[in-house]
Amino acid sequence: APDRKVAILGAAGGIGQPLSLLMKLNPLVSRLALYDIAGTPGVAADVSHINTRSEILGYAGEEQLGKALEGADVVIIPAGVPRKPGMTRDDLFNINAGIVKSLCTAIAKYCPHALVNVISNPVNSTVPIASEVFKKAGTYDEKRLFGVTTLDVVRAKTFYAGKAKVNVADVIVPVVGGHAGVTILPLFSQATPSANLSSEEIEALTKRTQDGGTEVVEAKAGKGSATLSMAYAGAIFADACLKGLNGVPDVVECSFVQSTVTDLPFFASKVRLGKNGVEEVLGLGALSDYEKEGLEALKPELKSSIEKGIKFANA
């Protein structure tokens, strides 16, 4: 297998740690760089004892970010801060947006050709921020920038399989739009294996997929948000990126990318992955009336989140 370096930025966090574990288990990875501003040595030492192919490289602190990124084929970004009491949504936005901006500035400098997998929320804004940073640095390639929306797909598959009583391992469901609330649009009319679900059941599945994050936040009761399922989803998407780079044919995953599928500049839909990242952004296919309504309903929010990101990056 080819030499492939993957870097995880924010590797010591709630998502970063299980993501580091899962990427250590991936046989396509030869070098795994774990970077965080704090806590990386412990995570790196721990994961490094696992007897799989990849070499673990731990980097702590900003002065080591360049080393972490050098030669990376895929960079995964779960870095961020959790919302603390007294912090508004805007405070959180500004902090995470700033983190993504500074990490992407370093990516442009140290590994401008890497495929970038953005997990840090709000993805609907952080991906446009990344694109602006890369444009300013003169390194932007729309084929190499991805918002990771795989957790929406993972949830849609799980919830659909439960309701339709089909084997979850066989289920395929595209999820399009964005990565927050109503901007998440699962296309259950295209789900396979097909099932005769009522419109009430489809509506309930759609809402549950859109509110999946809240379901976990409430269950964790103040102790965090989705980390394990997000790490799983991040690992699935990074694996698809690596397969594409390695020339495996017909690797298709949904992702939030630069797009002409709708009138919005970024949109999640099925994407064929290849040796240069995005090989093809696939269209939406036939939508049910319910999905058509959902599509129109999500556009204003998604548009304003994209604009908020672009404005932040250029402020």
For ligand ADP, the binding residues in 158-197 under the rule CB under 6 A are none
Which residue of 2, 27, 82, 283 would you call a contact of ligand ADP, by CB under 6 A? 82
The CA distances from residue 15 to 10, 157, 233, in Å, are 8, 21, 10
Nearest-angstrom CA–CA distance, 224 and 200: 31
Q: Does 36 bind ligand ADP (CB under 6 A)?
A: yes
11 with 36: CB under 8 angstroms?
yes
Q: How far is the CB of 233 from ligand ADP (least distance, A)?
A: 13
Nearer to ligand ADP, 37 or 204 (CB): 37
Q: How far is the CB of 303 from ligand ADP (least distance, A)?
A: 25
Residue with tokens 């709000």: 122
Pair of tokens at residue 277: 């990242």
Catalytic residue among 24, 157, 179, 270: 179
Nearer to ligand ADP, 38 or 168 (CB): 38
Q: Does 21 bind ligand ADP (CB under 6 A)?
A: no
Pair of tokens at residue 198: 């009522």
Q: Does 80 bind ligand ADP (CB under 6 A)?
A: yes
Nearest-angstrom CA–CA distance, 9 and 83: 19
Q: Is 179 a catalytic residue?
A: yes
Helices assigned H by DSSP within the chain = 16-24, 40-48, 65-69, 89-110, 123-137, 150-164, 199-210, 212-220, 228-245, 289-314
Q: Does 99 bind ligand ADP (CB under 6 A)?
A: yes
Q: How far is the CB of 82 from ligand ADP (least distance, A)?
A: 4
CA angle (208, 147, 151) in 5-degree steps = 30
Q: Does 212 bind ligand ADP (CB under 6 A)?
A: no
The residues assigned a catalytic role are 179
Summarize as ranges the residues that interact with ligand ADP (CB under 6 A): 9-10, 12-16, 36-39, 78-82, 99, 103, 224-225, 227
